[in-house]
Every structure is written in C-alpha cells, then in structure tokens.
Amino acid sequence: MEQEERGIPENVKVSLKRIGLTDYEISIYLALVSEGAMDARKLSDVSGVPYSRIYNILSILEKEKSFIIKEEESRPSKYHAKSPDEALLIAKQEMLKDYEEDSNLVIRELNPIYQKKNL
C-alpha cells in the first residue's frame, strides 16, 4: 500500500528523507506508523521492501536511527514504530551531536592553518 493511500502526504516522505532516512527506511517506518506492529514478513508485504533486505533495514532503524522498537518476546518478532515525537527528538539530538563533533574538528584543524596564513 502506498503512503498516499494511507493518508500520509508526500511532503512527509520528503522531510523524512531530508532528516536522513532512506526510501526503504521511510516505507517501513510509515507502514508501522499507519498500520501498527507487524512481523518482518508482513512488513515486507505492506511496505514493499524486499524480504531479502528487511532485516538489515529493521536493524538500522532500531539500533542506529532509533525509529522503531523490536518486540523480543514474540515469535516471530514484531516491530513497532516509535512515536514521531520521540523518533524525531532522538534524530535531532544525534544530528546536533554530530554537528558539534564535526564543527569542533574543523575548527581545531583549520584555525591553526588559517592563523598562519592570515596574520
């Protein structure tokens, strides 16, 4: 089912992409938000993400990007979307942390070079 059919506007997908999610990650997250918890097989069918890729992408969304939660107790495992508020707050904090680290590195490395040439 396409995101438009779920009542999710296209600009939401564009914004999620700008935040750093891939097309497959977006499809999975939006499927979980709109349809609720699912196992990997059903999620593959609903989201259109190939089953051969689904576990890798679910792992990234759970462990690296913190957009979903894996329910360990159930067999097969089910996946839940974190609320948009929570997922985006975590994404924002990660982006700010990365920006801070990157900007500190650039300043630390380039300031001495700049100061030598621009006395």
* pLDDT 10s digits, 10-68: 999 999 999 999 999 999 999 999 999 999 999 999 999 999 999 999 999 999 999 99
- Output the pLDDT for position 117: 87
pLDDT over threshold 80, residue 1 = no
The helix/strand/coil state of 34 is helix
C-beta of residue 41 within 8 angstroms of C-beta of residue 9: no
Residue type, 37: A
pLDDT over threshold 70, residue 74 = yes
Q: Which domain holds residue 88?
A: 4-117
Which CATH number goes with the domain that contains 58? 1.10.10.10
Nearest to 46 by CA among 101, 37, 55, 104: 37
Name the β-bridge partners of 115.
Answer: none
- Output the pLDDT for position 72: 82
Residue type, 73: E
pLDDT over threshold 60, residue 3 = no
Per-residue pLDDT, averaged over 87-110, amounts to 96
| Prediction pTM value | 0.85
CA distances for 64 relative to 2, 13, 26, 69, 94, angstroms: 25, 19, 14, 12, 10
Per-residue pLDDT, averaged over 70-74, amounts to 88
Tokens 């070079």 label which residue?
A: 113
CA distances for 17 relative to 14, 65, 80, 82, angstroms: 5, 13, 20, 17
High-pLDDT (> 70) share of the chain, %: 95
Whole-number mean pLDDT of the chain?
A: 93
C-beta of residue 19 within 8 angstroms of C-beta of residue 91: yes
| Domain tally, the chain | 1
**Cα atoms in the Cβ-side hemisphere of radius 13 Å centred on 71:** 15
